[in-house]
Amino acid sequence: DHIANQIAAGEVIQRPASAVKELLENSVDAGATEIRLIVADAGKSLIQVADNGKGMSETDARLCFERHATSKISQIDDLFHIQTMGFRGEALASVAAVAQVDLKTRRAADEAGTHIEIENSMVVLQEPCAMAQGTSIAMKNLFFNIPARRNFLKSNAAEMRHIIDEFIRVAMAFPQLFFSLSHNGQNVFHLDKGSLKQRIVQVLGNQYNAKLVPVQEQTDYLNIQGFIGKPEAAKKTRGDQFFFVNNRFIRSAYLHHAVMQAFQDLIPADAFPTYVLFIDLQPDQIDVNVHPTKQEIKFEDEKIVYAFVQAAVKHALAQFSI
């Protein structure tokens, strides 16, 4: 029912940045090569993602806002074989429960696109529309129907910081795609497609141009690749540390420690090395379903991953200092 729906929605969409993450990931899943994020008032009044992905049929455009209607999980075993970013089929249903939604979508083969407006999880308008292939989803007035949650949101500066963090994580994982972000009509990021190294410099800043060392190592069990900052680029503040497992951003104090150990004695004790590391392993070696926002995962054998990360970073550091 309606209340249960709103409570469930609050689990998935906790703040504007949660919606940003879900919308960006859907565009990636749809095979888009250009993804534009537009926000106003730090997402409190508008979050819009427009892409050139495969689009949706008229039926799917209606169905995508129904909880689990599109879930890719048909049996529990599927949880361990997830190839796309999304898999719970509840992000858009959650968005529709807590914001006014304006969807426009068109597949390449369709003559016209579909325009749908949703309020309180109900379709209030549906009409054909003219548009290029792709999808645009705008969510307006987040939590307009749940004042308690709306009042709980932080300042625009704080909420914008969260949005930028989520945007950067997705943009970092897909350097082969174009991304842009604008806030209140001002351009914040304009990221042309390129190599991972170029994307890191675009996002973290030009100071990394000559200060990145490649990491690349492989076993039968797992693969690691990415870049670490040279020790001289280490900072006293955190923020430039990224782990991705099978292309999903994750937080891991445990793996962070592995990198810190590799940098030991090369940087001051109170400094943090920069790293952007992608770990890939068989999907059945991880469980991504332990946290609703999917930022935490469990490894089947975390000690192996720890040792591997530490060794790969050490090798990269040794090569660069020869």
- Asked if residue 288 binds Mg ion (CB under 5 A), the reply is no
CB closer to ligand ADP out of 34 and 280: 34
Element (H, E) at 281: strand 275-281
Our finding on whether 22 is near ligand ADP (CB under 6 A) is yes
The reply on whether position 166 binds ligand ADP by CB under 6 A is: no
User: 30 in helix, strand or coil?
Assistant: coil
Among 16, 53, 55, 86, binds Mg ion (CB under 5 A): 86
Q: Residue written as tokens 């054998």? A: 301
Burial 131-157 (b: 16+ CB within 10 A, else e): bebbbbbbbbebbbbbeebeeebeebe
Q: Which of residues 113-142 bind ligand ADP (CB under 6 A)?
A: 135
Token pair recorded at residue 240: 């430039």
How far apart, in Å, are the Cα atoms of 203 and each of 87, 158, 196? 28, 19, 10
Compute the least distance from the CB of residue 88 to ligand ADP, in Å.
Answer: 5
Return the amino acid letter for 277: L
3-class secondary structure, 42:
helix
Instruction: Specify the residue, 52 or 202, whose C-beta has the smaller distance to ligand ADP.
Output: 52
Q: Phi-psi bin for 4: left (phi > 0), alpha (psi -120 to 50), beta?
A: alpha
Asked if 53 interacts with ligand ADP (CB under 6 A), we say yes
Q: How many angstroms separate the CA atoms of 152 and 160, rounded? A: 15
| Comparison of 230 and 294: residue with beta carbon closer to Mg ion | 294
20, 24, 82, 91: which one binds ligand ADP (CB under 6 A): 91
How many binding residues for ligand ADP (CB under 6 A)? 23
Select the binding partner of residue 316 from ligand ADP, Mg ion, none (C-beta < 5 to 8 A, by kind): none
The answer to whether residue 26 forms part of the interface with ligand ADP (CB under 6 A) is yes
Q: Which residue lies nearest Mg ion, judged by its C-beta?
A: 86
The burial class, CB within 10 Å (0-12 / 13-18 / 19+), for 173 is buried
Output 97 or 262, the one with its CB closest to Mg ion. 97
Q: Does 137 bind Mg ion (CB under 5 A)?
A: no
Contacting range for ligand ADP; rule: CB under 6 A; set: 3-11, 87-95, 146-154, 169-177: 87-95
Would you count residue 26 as binding Mg ion (CB under 5 A)? yes
Q: Report how far residue 57's alpha carbon sits from residue 137's, in angstroms, rounded to the nearest whole number.
A: 15
**Spatial separation of the C-alpha atoms in residues 240 and 201, rounded to whole Å:** 11
Q: Residue 150's binding partner, choosing from Mg ion, ligand ADP, none, with beta-carbon cut-off 5 to 8 A by kind? A: none
Which residues of this chain interact with ligand ADP, rule CB under 6 A?
Answer: 22, 26-27, 29-30, 51, 53-56, 60, 64, 70, 72, 86-93, 135
> Which parts of this chain interact with Mg ion (CB under 5 A)?
26, 86, 91
